[in-house]
Amino acid sequence: MSSSKLPPTVLVLTLALLFQTSLGADPLSYVCYNTQNFTSNTPFDSSLKTLIAVLTYQTPLTGFGQASFGQYYNQQAYGLSLCRGDVSPSDCQTCVSEATSDLLGRCSYNKGAIIWYDNCLFKYSDQDFFGQIDNSNKFYLANVKNVSDPAAFNYKTKELLSRLAEEAYESPKMYAAGEVKLEEGKNMTVYGLTQCTRDLSSDDCKKCLDDAIGELPMGKEGGRVVGGSCNVRYEIYPFFKE
């Protein structure tokens, strides 16, 4: 565990890496979730590289990419990437490029992993996970500040998010964002966002979002449930582009 005897080159490298990652946005979270590793120059390795190249090209076109490569059992790579519904194609491409290279570094040689940023997510696996709600890769974020009138706030916020969930699952982009005034005549608005990965059926998108809304940290000035198949978020400031 001791790192006091690090050779100077390692230290310089570490500083260089720190500096490099500080230039881009930090991920919100990531999980290296597979119990198996792969090795270099195997069919899985090359499938994963092809997958990443294709997703990096494909995702900015519509905000979503999904592909699989490889023909040998246990050596196939399945993956998807999704940009937040309001993100421009160029920001989407930046995010996906960063997500893919960052995740390969953080979960090196893991056969399944996922990473989330504000602007995008990227997930790959050696198993076909398309069309299934990901209930295992999920995390929660909450603003530390409590709202002053939680009962009214929670009611309005859930109402907004439920409406957005309806909108999202019926729309081709499976994305909806919007806002609601908390009280007539008062200057306080809550902003919400709901989005699913487009490999889900619309029924499963709805289910994923409803479950996430049920698990949201409430009564805070902001909260999120971020998963592998959908995410919901609310804030008291505008955080998405209209």
Does residue 40 interact with ligand NAG by CB under 6 A?
no
Closer to ligand NAG by CB, 34 or 58: give it: 34
Closer to ligand NAG by CB, 92 or 160: give it: 160
103 CA to centre of own chain: 12
Does residue 36 interact with ligand NAG by CB under 6 A?
yes
Residue 89 CB, shortest distance to ligand NAG, in Å, is: 30
Residue 106 CB, shortest distance to ligand NAG, in Å, is: 11
Does residue 23 interact with ligand NAG by CB under 6 A?
no
Residue 17 CB, shortest distance to ligand NAG, in Å, is: 17
Closer to ligand NAG by CB, 172 or 185: give it: 185
Interface characters, 73-112, with ligand NAG (x: CB under 6 A): ------------------------------------x---
Interacting span for ligand NAG (CB under 6 A) from 14-22, 65-73, 124-132, 139-147:
139-147
Pairing status of strand 77-83 against strand 29-32: unpaired
Q: Which of 127, 132, 146, 201 binds ligand NAG (CB under 6 A)?
A: 146
Q: Which of 2, 20, 41, 187 binds ligand NAG (CB under 6 A)?
A: 187
Does residue 37 interact with ligand NAG by CB under 6 A?
yes
Question: CB neighbours of 171 closer than 8 A, spacing ≥ 6?
Answer: none
Residue 164 CB, shortest distance to ligand NAG, in Å, is: 22
Nearest-angstrom CA–CA distance, 199 and 69: 16
From 164, 152, 166, 174, select the one nearest 218 (Cα to Cα).
Answer: 152
Contact 116, 226 (CB under 8 A): yes
Nearest-angstrom CA–CA distance, 84 and 63: 7
Does residue 132 interact with ligand NAG by CB under 6 A?
no
| CB-CB neighbours of 27 under 10 Å | 20
Pairing status of strand 175-181 against strand 120-125: unpaired
Q: Which residues contact ligand NAG by CB under 6 A? A: 35-37, 109, 144-146, 187
